[in-house]
Amino acid sequence: MASAIVRSTLRTALRGGHRVNSVASKRSFSSGASVEEEAREASKWEKITYVGIVACSVLAFVNLSKGHPHFDEPPAYPYLHIRNKEFPWGPDGLFEVKETPLMPH
């Protein structure tokens, strides 16, 4: 690590010192494109985004408007409600009321 720092310092000294304004020392974070190119690129991706939103909305509408099939009730298999002993509150489950008594008006 220290030898890398020493080599870097020697290289800089041999080149004539540290130049802050030289082109080689500047870091460019963009591609160097002009403002017009960047505006065209941003406009292009904005249009692509809008087309994607419309396409996804249409696909969602088509898929949701198809509906789905309704199946008959499955057969009452005997192993689904195995009750070896009665519940303290009766033969039905606590929240399963099979027959509701009719209320007189």
pLDDT of residue 19: 53
Q: Burial letters for 65-84: b for 16+ Cβ neighbours within 10 Å, e otherwise? A: eeeeeeeeeeeeeeeeeeee
pTM to 2 decimal places: 0.39
Q: Which two tokens stand for residue 91?
A: 């033969």
Return d(Cα 98, Cα 18) in angstroms, integer.
89
DSSP H helices in 1-105: 2-15, 35-65
pLDDT at 89 (0 to 100): 77
What stretches in the chain show pLDDT beneath 50?
A: none
